[in-house]
């Protein structure tokens, strides 16, 4: 090889290294604060997971804050589950708040159950409060069958779920299984 070719190769390699370092610096600067908050808050979220969230169009701040709230309350909620629910246009923060209230009231509300309630158009926190104040811990199907607040974007799903429950074609526990299957498919 002549000196010109070696010089050109050197410039190309130096350019690639510089671009890689610049990209790494930008990523580090953008996500370091959020990662540090997650780390000291007790949330199990890696630096690469934060970058992946942005690529999947998930707000990392919402997932980190929800994960910290869940961790501080002693709830075992995966950041992946929170992310999937966020992508399904669910209210992640409200679900975690509802689970915290349910936990403090001695109710065994699992994340998947809370996700079903939220995606059915119900406010999870209101459902939990209703269950606590009414003293009923096993009547989620009755709560699900009540008319939801006006939310046009979720109305078709709510109507379909309500019709399935009323017809006896499906039980609320079956809805949870369906959500679990969809969640498993979305993860892969």
Which residues form the domain of 94? 88-187
- What total of structural domains would you count in the chain? 1
**Is residue 105 assigned to a domain?**
yes
Residue 38, burial from CB neighbour count under 10 angstroms (0-12, 13-18, 19+): buried
Across 2-6, 101-105, 171-175, least confident range = 171-175
pTM: 0.62
**Is residue 114 assigned to a domain?**
yes
In this prediction, what percent of the chain has a pLDDT beyond 90? 34
pLDDT at 186 over 60: no
**Is residue 118 assigned to a domain?**
yes
CA 131 – CA 139 distance, rounded (Å)? 8
**Is residue 56 assigned to a domain?**
no
pLDDT at 175 over 50: yes
Q: Which of 29-43, 53-67, 109-123 has the highest mean pLDDT?
A: 53-67
Contact between 121 and 92 (Cβ < 8 Å): no
**Is residue 52 assigned to a domain?**
no
**Is residue 179 assigned to a domain?**
yes
* pLDDT (0 to 100) of residue 64: 95
**Is residue 5 assigned to a domain?**
no
Residue 164, burial from CB neighbour count under 10 angstroms (0-12, 13-18, 19+): middle
* pLDDT (0 to 100) of residue 161: 64
CA 66 – CA 77 distance, rounded (Å)? 9
For 135-167, write each residue's pLDDT tens digit: 654 555 555 556 655 555 556 666 666 666 676
Contact between 145 and 111 (Cβ < 8 Å): no
For 75-126, write each residue's pLDDT tens digit: 999 999 999 999 999 999 999 999 999 888 888 888 988 998 898 888 888 8
If one counts every other C-beta atom within 10 angstroms of the C-beta of residue 10, the result is 10
pLDDT bin (cut points 50, 70, 90) of residue 184 is low
* pLDDT (0 to 100) of residue 173: 63
Residue 87, burial from CB neighbour count under 10 angstroms (0-12, 13-18, 19+): middle
**Is residue 112 assigned to a domain?**
yes
Q: Which of 103, 183, 175, 107 is nearest to 141 (CA)?
A: 175
């Amino acid at each position: 090889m002549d000196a010109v070719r070696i010089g050109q190769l050197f410039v190309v390699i130096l350019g690639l290294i510089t671009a890689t370092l610049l990209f790494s610096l930008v990523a580090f600067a953008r996500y370091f604060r959020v990662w540090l908050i997650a780390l000291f808050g007790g949330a199990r979220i890696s630096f690469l997971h934060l970058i992946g969230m942005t690529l999947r169009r998930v707000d990392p701040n919402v997932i980190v804050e929800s994960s910290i709230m869940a961790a501080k309350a002693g709830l075992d909620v995966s950041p992946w589950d929170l992310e999937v629910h966020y992508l399904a246009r669910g209210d992640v923060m409200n679900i975690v708040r509802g689970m915290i209230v349910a936990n403090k009231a001695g109710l065994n509300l699992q994340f998947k159950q809370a996700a079903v309630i939220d995606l059915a158009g119900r406010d999870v926190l209101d459902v939990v409060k209703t269950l606590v104040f009414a003293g009923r811990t096993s009547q989620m199907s009755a709560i699900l069958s009540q008319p939801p607040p006006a939310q046009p974007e979720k109305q078709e799903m709510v109507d379909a779920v309500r019709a399935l429950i009323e017809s006896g074609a499906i039980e609320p526990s079956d809805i949870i299984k369906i959500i679990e299957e969809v969640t498993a498919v979305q993860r892969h």
